[in-house]
A and B are shown apart, each in its own frame.
Chain A
Amino acid sequence: MESGVKGLLENWSPVFRIIILAMICILSVLIRVFSVIRFESIIHEFDPWFNFRTTKYLTERGVYAFWDWFDAESWFPLGRAVGGTIYPGIMLTAGLIHSSLHTLGFPIDIRNVCVFLAPGFAALTSLAGYFLTKEVTGRSEAGLYAALFVGIVPSYISRSVAGSYDNEGVAIFALVFTFYLYIKSVNTGSLLWSAAASLSFFYMVAAWGGYAFIINIIPIFVVGSVLIGKFTTNLYVSYCSFYILGSLLAMQIPFVGTQVVTSSEHLASHAVFVFLQIYVLGDWIKERAGEAKFKFLIRFLVTGAVSVVVIASLYMTLSGKMKWSGRSMSLLDPTYAKKFIPIIASVSEHQPTTWSSFFFDLHFLTVFAPVGLYFCLMEHNPGKLFIAGYGVLAVYFACVMVRLLLVLAPAVCILSAIGLSETLHRFTRHIKNYKEWASYISSKPSDKKTKPEYGYPLELALVVIGLIGFMSVYYINHCVWVAAEAYSSPTVIMASKGYDGERRIIDDYREAYYWLRMNTAQDARIMSWWDYGYQITGFSNRTVMVDNNTWNNTHIATMGMIFGSNEEVAAKNLRKIDANYVLVIFGGLSYYSGDDINKFLWMIRIAAGVFPQIKEEDYLNRGQYRIDSGMTETMKNSLMYRLCYYRFGEVQGYNRGSGYDVVRNAEIGEKNIKLRQFSEVFTSEHWIVRIYKVLPEENRDTIKPKSTYASRNKEMKEVGLTKVNLS
């Protein structure tokens, strides 16, 4: 009877697998749509607005127009060649899905395609994780665990909720899928699998700048395998074909182009390719020439080759031919950006990761992953070594920048799946063989029974399995909670709970952007800090000065200088760059702490890098950043202060004085602000967005009268014309 049940279960196990995988895919889609349910189907945050705008352009005008698009609406006097400076993967994917849905007869709006693209790709990523783990371990239970973990890990959810239409949403799928195809090609040695891997790598290069991770980790894996003596023909075949096709395909993306041969990010792949050829040649010579002659040859060649390589790379670096980009430098030396490139240091996603971020984003996987690492290194094959190397390298990068925790997430999921699967495998065997083990323990030495392979006290085994089950359930609970509470806010809409628990929506951003769209001229130019550039062009369809692309540091520094100067100098500069409106974000009335006053010091630091008249110490009172009566004169006269707190001195709070800033917890220093060069045109309902118009120059300078009554009297006295004493 028992074997009948067991046989039945074994026959049906593929069906169970498919059902479980389908449920995991559905779960990973559903866990990401909290924001659509709670708010609406809207594009979130900042960067996705630019991607959405370009996708709309693509669907409206076709691929050729999109490829050659020069955007005159951003970076006002300069413009931006969009076709050549983006990673077009996600836009082309969304455009393809949109047009195929339309041909099939489903007229779905492009906005909905974009909003729901990331959850769809998350489901595909869980599938890719399943296949990768199954290929690495040969076990489908480990694959199922990996699919579940990858589908709901909070770190991945944070960048792929419904509405977060950003590069990482498709790029993580491309990453995991490329790794799966590459491991498959290493295991089988077939050229077709490595061709598939290079095509998937091409998609990754099209999708995200993080492709540099793949093109570095695969050479490191190859070199590591060779150095520990695990060189096989399959390794050589798979890497060489992947390298050639991958590099050539990467050159097809205009944004990458010839960087493949000139930048330092691809250097490892070139070096390892050459190294592999030399290794194979050396192997061949060793076979034919015999040991002693070979040793002599080796010493001769290696010293020559190493010296050539060292001299060449020194020459290239010192003469500036090979550039290390700012981002690569800050990854290798985490303090580099803080010292030299304030604009990279000011982004909150680029800060070093804290331990609490690790636990919040990965939860119990941080505990299971080292177990998986242990099992990967114990009985290894190429796939397991690769995953172990991926995990270790990704941990380093995740520690450098919070944003790169996302690259670590799939590695940790796969490692923990391997660890969990091995542990459960052992403990279930313990439970199954319990009777055998119990009889062995209670037998006398004279019975000469052999020690069974699996055996453990039954209670302990049950406790272990129970603990693992509890932790897995708790993990799922945590992920769902995190997705609902922490990562589902669209940033353009905010919600808060009133005193009686009712939900209040704060929709100031959209109110202001729509006002801009309806009440300004078509060619009006809006000046703001770079954070809001993409949103302004996306929502209001107006020209902006600087946006989130941050490719021109001097232009951004000019904006910072304008915000930090006094009203006259700022207005003069604004007229010089031809801006019509100024937009500031102010959170002092609504507890919104991400406003421009809090970012102001970063603006000053960035401006100070280019304009020597801006000094950070001028805005700080004895090292403290204050906006109350203790603020410095420069701070009081700065444009940012005046625009943010204009008329705020009249606002009465509960039990507080007038003009109380709730974010900085202080009454503002100057309450009676008068603006001569600007006029306030719009303030949103909770004062979050404030828009000012730049007034044109006055028609004439004010004329001071040349002589007063007393001075004229003095003049006449000197000449001798009057004898009257008028004192």
Chain B
Amino acid sequence: MEVLRDTAKALFSNYQKSTSNRTKLIDLFIIFNLTLAAIQYFYMKIAGNFPYNAFLAGFFCTLGTATLTSCLRMTIETKKANTSEEKAFIEYMALCLLLYLVVLNYLG
């Protein structure tokens, strides 16, 4: 147990030190979206899932934005991919737009 706590602390301090502010912003956005998804899921459990398509649309919207942002983070930050930053960002915006269009259609 203590090993876990130590590891977690070490990881957290390492994260604080070594990641740039921009990356931390992106990570915060991802965690925000995931929290929204979790809130929607627990609300569905409490209040019932009557318009099921509405729940699915909202859930996948937050989950999708989180995923796309993490793809953006992978492309820009890890330097393993070979696209320029501007191109990656434009693609990210385009895909988010497409995602929101589809969600809009499915919300009903």
Contact = CB atoms under 8 A, between A and B. Distances in A.
A673 interface: no
A1 to B, nearest CB: 43
A237 B94 contact: no
A241 B92 CA distance: 10
Contact of B98 (A195, A232, A240): A195
A261 interface: yes
B80 A232 contact: yes
Contacts of A289: 7, 10-11, 14
B56 interface: yes
A24 B68 CA distance: 40
A654 interface: no
A190 B99 CA distance: 16
A288 interface: yes
Contacts, number: 97
A191 B56 contact: no
Given A189-B82, A244-B60, A297 B7 contact: yes
A484 interface: no
Q: Dominant SS at the B interface? A: helix
A620 to B, nearest CB: 49
A18 interface: no
Interface in A287-319: 288-289, 293, 296-297, 300
B64 A191 contact: no
Contacts of A243: 67
Contacts of A285: 11
Closest 4 CB pairs of A and B: A191-B91, A244-B64, A237-B71, A233-B80
B92 A191 contact: yes
Interface in A171-205: 188-192, 195
A258 interface: yes
A237 B74 contact: yes
Nearest to A195: B95
Nearest to B78: A233
Given A189-B75, A232-B80, A244-B64, A252 B98 contact: no
A188 B91 CA distance: 13
B75 A293 contact: no
8 contacts: A189-B82, A190-B83, A192-B95, A233-B78, A233-B80, A245-B95, A248-B102, A277-B70
B27 to A, nearest CB: 11
Contacts of B94: 191-192, 195
Interface of A: 188-192, 195, 232-234, 236-237, 240-241, 243-245, 247-249, 251-252, 257-258, 261, 277, 280, 285, 288-289, 293, 296-297, 300
B15 interface: yes
B77 to A, nearest CB: 10
B103 interface: yes
A233 B81 contact: yes
A252 B92 contact: no
A296 B83 contact: no
Given A244-B67, A248-B103, 6 more contacts: A189-B83, A240-B67, A244-B99, A245-B98, A248-B102, A280-B74
Nearest to A261: B56
A233 B75 contact: yes
Given A289-B7, A293-B7, A189 B67 contact: no
A234 B83 CA distance: 10
Interface in B1-38: 3-4, 6-7, 10-11, 14-15, 18
Nearest to B6: A293
B74 A236 contact: yes
A189 B81 contact: yes
Contacts of A300: 4
B50 interface: no
Interface residues of B, number: 39
Contacts of B10: 288-289, 293
Contacts of B67: 240-241, 243-244
B52 to A, nearest CB: 6
Interface string B79-104: 01111000110011011001100110
B104 to A, nearest CB: 11
Most chain B beta-carbon neighbours within 10 Å: one of A237, A252, A277, A293: A237
Contacts of A258: 52-53, 56
Contacts of B6: 293
Nearest to A240: B67
Given A288-B15, A296-B3, A245 B105 contact: no
Contacts of B14: 288-289
Contacts of A257: 53
Contact of B11 (A189, A240, A288): A288
Contact of A237 (B18, B53, B81): B81
A190 B71 CA distance: 10
B33 to A, nearest CB: 12
A240 B70 contact: yes
A258 B78 CA distance: 36
A252 B105 contact: yes
A375 B52 CA distance: 48
B106 interface: yes
Contacts of B102: 245, 248-249, 252
A225 to B, nearest CB: 15
A391 B63 CA distance: 33
A191 B3 contact: no
A289 B9 CA distance: 10
A244 B98 contact: no
Contacts of B80: 232-233
A167 to B, nearest CB: 23
A283 to B, nearest CB: 10
A144 to B, nearest CB: 29
